[in-house]
Amino acid sequence: MSDVLHLQTRAYPLHHRAPGTAFESIAVPGHGELRPFAGGLRSLAYNPDSTIEVDLTSIVRPAITVPGAEIVACHARILIAGTVLVIYALRHETDVRRLALPELDALDAAVNRVLREADAPVLTAVLSASLSSGLLGNVALRPDLALDGDRSPIDRQSARYNCHFVTQDPPWQADARVPTLISGPDCRILLPYTYAWDRDPATPLQDLLTMTEPTDIAVAQQSLLVGALIAGRWVLTHLAHGHPETTDVPAFRRFLDGLWADFHHLDGYRIESIQAHRANYLAARQVIGLDDTQERADKLLGYVSNSLVAASSMRAEALDTRLNRLAAALAVVSAASFGLDIAVFVLPNVSLAAKLGVVTGLIGMAAACLMAVIVPGRSALHSPSASRRLGWSPRRRQVVPPPRHPAGEGVPVVPATDEA
């Protein structure tokens, strides 16, 4: 076996209730039992941050095989800030130190693909057991995953992972495209999400997890933002295809509230951590472009918010129109009923044929009025107000250019409704 310990830390965004303090054994159907225990982020210098630690080695080893490698351990860390870190420790049969950096990166990517496909049912079973046992609660998933229900309890699409190679005097040099950054001792950033650590690979796993905490916190934040981008694109797609009813706006708002709360909770790491760990964290977030991802998420979710407001206004306008038609229809029916009462009172001694004629006339008049009220005279799409909202001029038969953004960026401004 190689004298290099290969660590892969995968971050799953999972907005849940803060972990409790009393832990019981969790029975995972078909996999045995798990015994969670209390832990913490030991790289914090000021306010402590607790975690729930779960050793998954006994469940993962029998179920997963990685060609050319041995799974030494598998560990899960449930953070308060709505994220679950799943860490694999592997040893390879080949001498990893002899690999060039591109070969090292290709090896890591191949291992990650195998693990992601193989451990999906295992992690799903563990998460479902954690939810049913009460270890976790109030999980808020992306809106597209929430529609799938229990079939998608893990947000695999938003997950991001870090790669760590732990060995004494690592032989690899950083890629030329990686900017020169000041990181903490023993840490060398080879590629975005790929790190070499100058440490004895026989160091206890808990100490190694503390060593990699800063970079893993950064990738956890990245996974949260990727989940926000995916959710925002999903909502915009449904709005663009005219399916706003599939968007549960209150649930989406709760998802975003939890997302930003968790992101900024983790963002406090930059002022709460030990100096050496803080240097690693700041360097890692700069290399993976975390600030750029946050800016993109802010812009996209702001546009989604404006689109949801516009869609809500259009639905309210349509509902008001239907309610007005219903009120007018009820008024016509009431008038017809009143007219029938008057006819019966004024003409008490007329023949049956006359009475039937009066009743038939009143009913026909009421039906005609109802049809005139309920059925619109022409399609709302071709009405002048709809044409103006869609930017179409019926006279010139060409698209009227939308107003430009006040800042001059050319972003279309959603027009206000008539009520506004």
Taking only the tens place, the pLDDT of each residue in 88-145 is 999 999 999 999 999 999 999 999 999 999 999 999 899 888 888 888 888 877 877 7
**Higher pLDDT pick, 19 / 269:** 269
Which pLDDT value is given to residue 314?
Answer: 63
Whether the pLDDT of residue 285 is over 80: the answer is: yes
Specify whether the CB–CB gap between 23 and 37 falls below 8 A: yes
Which pLDDT value is given to residue 234?
Answer: 87
Cβ neighbours for 64, distance < 8 A, ≥ 6 positions apart: 71, 115, 118, 119, 122
In the predicted model, what is the mean pLDDT of residues 280-300? 95
In the predicted model, what is the mean pLDDT of residues 39-48? 93
Q: For residue 172, what are the β-bridge partners? A: none
CA 298 from centroid of its chain's CA atoms: 14
**Higher pLDDT pick, 325 / 189:** 189
Whether the pLDDT of residue 67 is over 90: the answer is: yes
Whether the pLDDT of residue 405 is over 60: the answer is: no
Q: Give the rounded percent of residues in the chain with a pLDDT score beyond 90.
A: 50
Nearest to 127 by CA among 38, 33, 19, 28: 28
Average pLDDT in the chain: 81
Tokens of 193: 């999400």
Specify whether the CB–CB gap between 380 and 369 falls below 8 A: no
User: Which residue is listed with tokens 């020169």?
Assistant: 180
Which pLDDT value is given to residue 390?
Answer: 37
Q: How confident is the model at residue 45 (pLDDT cuts 50, 70, 90)?
A: very high
Where is 360: in which H helix or E strand? helix 352-374
